Amino acid sequence: MQKGNKKRVAICFFGQTRTFQTIEETYKNLSHDNIEFDFFVSTWDDFKDKEKFDFCIGKEFIDPNIIEFKNNTEKASYTIHRLNIMKSTKEVKENFIYNYVMWVRSEIYFELKPLLEFLKSKVHKSHKHKPLELEINTHGDIEDRDGHPYLAGDYYFFGTSVAFDLYATGWKYYFLNHNEQGKHGGHNFHANTIVRNNLDLVPVNIPHRFQFSKLHEREIS
């Protein structure tokens, strides 16, 4: 159930944890009087400092040998699938639906204020979501490259809880079912998943950068 009048936002970290620095600098300081933030992580068990994720209410560190993964796209999509199980289980147990969901790679650093302002705008009572709204970092719509859908920005996503439910089916549909259409690469996989589920794509660009470590940063605009 909703906690008082607070809105609820799920923030989900997917894929390999290349650095914890961005998480520590951005998300652990993310707070607002009218928003309850719940954090989830699904990553690989080679991340040594697992206790750093103790602030997450749902977390798992996966043995990459449990499945014969074909490529990194499948591995990332599997962690998204697992995150959605944790997120949905929380909703069912407490009889509520998250007002908004963010799923993001660990190495993406956001400036705290613009990120918080964006999330506040999405859960404000005046904002009317499309039921399958999905906001993604991209400078345009899904492209066609060599006959396949292609999406440039595939490292952070925002959307309704139901949009995340549908997006998270990508691993089952393309990999567990051995569907060749989704295996052309990460950018194609994400685009195919969006198209197949008829998600309402909304471009968004919040100031951010890749930050694998203090010595390796790359600005993205």
H or E, element range at 109: strand 108-110
Mean pLDDT of all residues in 150-165? 86
For the ranges 95-99, 110-114, 146-150, which has the lowest average pLDDT?
A: 146-150
Strand partners, 39: 11
Q: Is pLDDT above 50 for 214?
A: no
| d(C-alpha 24, C-alpha 173), whole Å | 34
Q: In a 10 Å sphere around its CB, with 0-12 CB exposed, 13-18 middle and 19+ buried, how is residue 157 labelled?
A: buried
Nearest to 8 by CA among 132, 119, 99: 99
CATH topology of domain 7-220: Spore Coat Polysaccharide Biosynthesis Protein SpsA; Chain A (3.90.550)
Mean pLDDT of all residues in 155-169? 93
| d(C-alpha 143, C-alpha 137), whole Å | 14
Q: Give the percent of the chain with pLDDT over 70.
A: 87
Q: Is pLDDT above 70 for 218?
A: no
Mean pLDDT of all residues in 109-124? 90
Supply the pLDDT for residue 107: 85
Amino acid identity, position 126: S
* Tens-digit pLDDT profile for residues 10-68: 999 999 888 888 888 888 889 899 999 999 999 999 998 999 999 999 999 999 888 88
The domain segmentation of the chain, as residue ranges, is: 7-220
H or E, element range at 188: helix 186-196
- Which residue would you say has higher pLDDT here, 191 or 139? 191
